[in-house]
A and B are shown apart, each in its own frame.
Chain A
């Protein structure tokens, strides 16, 4: 059973471009979480999704950021018109159920130049 797969591992975007981060949860997992981590800092919650539904997006900026987890395919975190402050590591995690632990992907390191 493959773990949580995130791609790309590294992404470089120029200011103003769009960044699209993909996350394939573990097989059978229907709960997906996105977190952002700055160097030497903790994890900041962004969004919690269950298949086709956004459960909690309280940590996601209202503008430029969006997330989806369609019935088929990976979860996508989309950042439009990126700025230098968006540079960070973005981690996706999935869980089988609410009482279960979350399993993390290796992260996507976004660099905005």
Chain B
């Protein structure tokens, strides 16, 4: 069975500094990896995905993520954080080798960007 871990419940960073939100995964087949952001009382918004190809994936709002197969990680990064990036971030994985598998989400990491 697949699983996702987000080891930090909360990440605080000063505006203008780089940010990293960590994600590690476990899946038996090929991992399909995703990052989503959730603002208060809203649904999840898709940020980026890794299916195959380059390990560095660029997404919306200046976010990027690096797929590391040996470390089974898919950390979300941004070179310069904005106060408006403050939100709840979810990492998700899907087993590409198993047709019936759905998206499994991590517990979420709350990002606070301080002015």
B-binding residues in A (CB < 8 A): 4, 33, 35, 41-43, 45, 48, 55-56, 91, 93, 98-99, 101-107
Query: Contact mask B84-109 → A, CB, 8 Å, 1/0?
Result: 00000010101010011111111110
Closest to A49 in B: B102
Q: Provided the pairs A42-B90, A48-B102, A56-B102 are in contact, do residues A106 and B108 lie with their beta carbons within 8 angstroms?
A: no
Residues of B in contact with A (beta carbons under 8 Å apart): 32, 34, 36, 42-46, 49, 51, 90, 92, 94, 96, 99-108
Residue of B90, B100, B101 near A43 (CB, 8 A) is B90
Closest to B49 in A: A101
Question: Which among B46, B92, B94 is the interface contact of A103 at CB below 8 angstroms?
Answer: B46
Q: Give complex CA distance A33, B105 in Å.
A: 12
**9 residue pairs, one from A and one from B, having the closest CB atoms:** A104-B43, A48-B102, A42-B107, A104-B44, A43-B105, A101-B46, A106-B43, A42-B108, A101-B49
Complex formed: what's the CA distance from A103 to B45 in Å?
A: 7
Residue contact B106 to A42, C-beta cutoff 8 Å: yes
